[in-house]
Structure 1
């Protein structure tokens, strides 16, 4: 409050007091520094003297030991044993030399011990002097920090009572730590924005090439030589199916547009009794069975205005993978029903990447009426074809099916294209593609329970 009411009088006084305290602490620090320097010099001198005395000790002890060995050698001789009752001049000289040298060694060892004690005391004094200097330096730096804090607190107090609104807001944000929080939030936001793009780069340049190197899916066919499947005509809104002798037509209720009056009509509960779940899940249940030689039935989407149909002929021995949901009708011999088999590929990485673990294979002879959004296209595989996963309706069973990376990087990087597309390798078979899948026509992919059901049906090849 004094700083706010009269800052010109209070703050200079407090700063002078801090300056005086700093000087009072600085003088002991200087004295401690001088003492530390002197102690360092004395320590160095004591250590030098100690090393020199240790060298003298190293020289005196061997001399003493050599003189003692000469005395023992002289006394061990036989003449000494005979005349040991009187002393000779040679023996006396050896005794005097031994005493002098050993006395000198003992004297140098006592001086060494004394210098060692002095050196230890000098080292302890140096340690205490350095510690005193550090304490004085810490006290001086503390006073300097207190002086800075005093000025900062006074400035904050003036802003709180006399500052403008922007200054008060800035002070309030600093007190709450908003700048640090904003920096952390900006870093977190940058990471959140960058992580999806980094993941896309990793997936495009690392994961997708690794997936492309995995073996393709090859289905087992009964014949060694595959029977070619002829191309179907261009899809239209409706097709006419004329039954040959001994044929019958199974058609969905919502694709039965017109039929002859004379034909025999019954209800077929399931397309294939051996695959009840597939028939129920794909809508191939409660079919209308039409029989009669030469009877003509028009197959067309009654409820879907964008659906088109085409007829795919499977000769004897031909086989084709077709998603059952794309079947609108089946023309088959009466006494030789359409044979449907399934194959699982749980151990194939390509199957997991395409989310199709089970493949439903239709074997000829039969005629399949295939439906699709805005049309169905049947084309030769030739040098291999790449297409979107939602567009696949079927392919010849003798083709190799796998995944590949999308053609261009930047559309995938910005989320315009999916990472992986389906691919069939070069061969003589055919590929069946839907022009505009239902999800594309709706403009969105179903999520939640509906999306889970869709994914499950795709995994089962339905």
Structure 2
């Protein structure tokens, strides 16, 4: 019963979790779909709307500036000139209204987004032009009214001046008549009062003229005062203001274009995908350039190295580490996963503990801290420290095999007395020698040789016999003769004869190197009685190890530089 309940709860929990995942996927998928559709709409609309709005604003500024300069010319124009310009503006307004009425927005919608956007742009441009013309017409009407007031006041002022001059003229005539009357009365004396005399007739006529002039003078003065009163009532109008467009009305004219732009910008402000798109858009060309450079630069460098550096290195003299020594038999080594090594009396074996699989009873086993105290760092880096030291009184068979790596195979390399062999300590699992004839290890530096720098191995360790080296390699170890010259991958090389002519040659063909399938250089060996040692599968090409980090690559390069 308890098991059934447990199974039921487990089934229920698993399906609830699956149901929650399905709901989450569906909900997030719907949200992502909406965001994606909004992003597509924004990518299609927002830049085009902004460009159209910018074009309309630029056109508005240009047209407004041109019309402002044109209207400045009518600040002091006559009524006839203003009326002519008003007729021209009325004609333009009528044409603009007709063009605006002919624009068909439904047909533009059927034509697609681009057609609708172009129609909105043209509609906004026509609305701006129409509003500019209307405001210009309103200004011209104000200028005409101002000019009319100025003309009326100027006419009234002219008439007042004429009345003033007429009053002065009548008053002057009245003064002359009075002077003449006084002169005649003085000349005629008492005769001027006797009817029928000439003096009397002259005096009488002058008095009639004076009475007439008095009436005319009073009438002229009254006319002048009346005109002055009329002129006082005609107030001087304020100066005509400089023409300025009403920006608010112009903004309303482009509302049809600005409304979708504001909606698109509001949608963009809320869209996470749009903000991400805007953030990534400026760096896309740079990112594309970096990506292209990421692929092209290594290819160019590889091509340069292959056709320039490699042929140059091939012409350099080879490395020779020592004179011709006792030849090492180049018979094929028999490598195996495990070997049975016969430990003769008075013979010592030093081997890494993880390679000593079994030994018979009676074998003296001790611990050796370092393989060679003269090469402390080399021994530690090659893991040749804390070794097992085995000695036997009688012949004893010791089984050696890797207890940690199933692909490692071992072989025995015999070094006769006087023989020398260059070996990387990483390939050494153990060594057999007579205690009275300890093998010597010598270091050879080659800092001034191009081959050493190209192979990244600046130091070479030479093992001198007599001794038997227990060498190891991935999936087997081979020893081959190189009399006529042999080439091999640098990663597979474990050692070679000390008198070998060692150099680096270009790896053929070109395409595998260009694709990174093989290295640029191979090790090349040649010489009489020369042999070289290599492992079947280079340790760096093993897939079961996984990708190596940059620190691993740097560590391997450093160890190789020191011959380890």
Going from structure 1 to structure 2, the CA distance change for 1:260 and 1:409 (only over 3 Å counts) comes to: same
Paired residue for 1:274?
Answer: 374
Q: Deviations over 1:365-406 (max 9, x none)?
A: 111111111111111113222222221111111112221111
Contact 1:212 1:403 in 2 (8 A): yes
Going from structure 1 to structure 2, the CA distance change for 1:6 and 1:300 (only over 3 Å counts) comes to: closer
Contact 2:346 2:391 in 1 (8 A): no
Q: Aligned equivalents of 2:378 and 2:520: distance in 1?
A: 29
Identify which of 174, 197, 206 aligns with 2:308. 206
Alignment pair present for 1:236 and 2:332: no
**What is the CA distance between 1:350 and its match in structure 2?**
1.0
**What is the CA distance between 1:320 and its match in structure 2?**
0.5
Q: Aligned equivalents of 1:447 and 1:214: distance in 2?
A: 33
Going from structure 1 to structure 2, the CA distance change for 1:457 and 1:192 (only over 3 Å counts) comes to: closer
Alignment pair present for 1:459 and 2:561: yes
Alignment pair present for 1:317 and 2:418: yes
Secondary structure of the residue aligned to 2:373 is: coil
Paired residue for 1:378?
Answer: 479
Identify which of 428, 435, 451 aligns with 1:334. 435
Secondary structure of the residue aligned to 2:374 is: coil
**What is the CA distance between 1:277 and its match in structure 2?**
2.0
Going from structure 1 to structure 2, the CA distance change for 1:289 and 1:276 (only over 3 Å counts) comes to: farther
Q: Aligned equivalents of 1:263 and 1:186: distance in 2?
A: 68
**What is the CA distance between 1:6 and its match in structure 2?**
5.9
Q: Aligned equivalents of 2:505 and 2:281: distance in 1?
A: 47
Q: Deviations over 1:125-172 (max 9, x none)?
A: xxxxxxxxxxxxxxxxxxxxxxxxxxxxxxx9986667998xx99xx9
Going from structure 1 to structure 2, the CA distance change for 1:160 and 1:339 (only over 3 Å counts) comes to: same
Paired residue for 1:227?
Answer: 327
Going from structure 1 to structure 2, the CA distance change for 1:194 and 1:225 (only over 3 Å counts) comes to: closer
Going from structure 1 to structure 2, the CA distance change for 1:347 and 1:389 (only over 3 Å counts) comes to: same
Contact 1:339 1:362 in 2 (8 A): yes
Secondary structure of the residue aligned to 1:228 is: coil
Q: Aligned equivalents of 1:294 and 1:448: distance in 2?
A: 48
Identify which of 385, 390, 395 aligns with 1:289. 390
Q: Aligned equivalents of 1:334 and 1:386: distance in 2?
A: 37
Paired residue for 1:218?
Answer: 320
Contact 1:263 1:290 in 2 (8 A): yes
Q: Aligned equivalents of 1:398 and 1:391: distance in 2?
A: 20
Alignment pair present for 1:387 and 2:505: no
Contact 1:249 1:331 in 2 (8 A): yes
Q: How does 1:94-105 map to 2 (within 5 A)?
A: none
Going from structure 1 to structure 2, the CA distance change for 1:264 and 1:418 (only over 3 Å counts) comes to: same
Which structure has the larger Rg? Answer: 2
**What is the CA distance between 1:185 and its match in structure 2?**
5.7
Q: How does 1:146-185 map to 2 (within 5 A)?
A: none
Structure 2 residue ranges without an equivalent (≥5): 1-55, 61-120, 134-253, 269-273
TM-score (norm 1): 0.60
Identify which of 502, 507, 516 aligns with 1:401. 502
**What is the CA distance between 1:443 and its match in structure 2?**
5.1
**What is the CA distance between 1:264 and its match in structure 2?**
2.5
Contact 2:330 2:479 in 1 (8 A): no
Contact 1:346 1:352 in 2 (8 A): yes
Secondary structure of the residue aligned to 1:250 is: strand
Going from structure 1 to structure 2, the CA distance change for 1:193 and 1:330 (only over 3 Å counts) comes to: closer
Q: Aligned equivalents of 1:357 and 1:312: distance in 2?
A: 24
Paired residue for 1:58?
Answer: none
Q: Aligned equivalents of 1:290 and 1:326: distance in 2?
A: 23
Alignment pair present for 1:194 and 2:300: no
**What is the CA distance between 1:427 and its match in structure 2?**
3.8
Going from structure 1 to structure 2, the CA distance change for 1:387 and 1:230 (only over 3 Å counts) comes to: closer
Paired residue for 2:360?
Answer: 260
Which structure shows the bigger proportion of residues in helix conformation? 2
Structure 1 residue ranges without an equivalent (≥5): 16-155
Q: Aligned equivalents of 1:307 and 1:370: distance in 2?
A: 10
Q: Deviations over 1:399-421 (max 9, x none)?
A: 12221111111111122222222
Which structure shows the bigger proportion of residues in strand conformation? 1
Secondary structure of the residue aligned to 1:275 is: helix
Secondary structure of the residue aligned to 2:530 is: strand
Contact 1:237 1:307 in 2 (8 A): yes
Going from structure 1 to structure 2, the CA distance change for 1:443 and 1:247 (only over 3 Å counts) comes to: closer
Contact 1:247 1:293 in 2 (8 A): no
Going from structure 1 to structure 2, the CA distance change for 1:192 and 1:309 (only over 3 Å counts) comes to: closer
Q: Aligned equivalents of 1:395 and 1:403: distance in 2?
A: 14
**What is the CA distance between 1:360 and its match in structure 2?**
0.8
Contact 2:327 2:529 in 1 (8 A): no
Contact 1:265 1:291 in 2 (8 A): no
Going from structure 1 to structure 2, the CA distance change for 1:381 and 1:344 (only over 3 Å counts) comes to: same
Identify which of 369, 380, 383 aligns with 2:470. 369
Q: How many residues align?
A: 320
Q: Aligned equivalents of 1:276 and 1:334: distance in 2?
A: 20
**What's the C-alpha RMSD, in Å, of the aligned pairs?**
3.7
Contact 1:321 1:362 in 2 (8 A): yes
Contact 1:226 1:398 in 2 (8 A): no
Q: Aligned equivalents of 1:437 and 1:451: distance in 2?
A: 14
TM-score (norm 2): 0.50
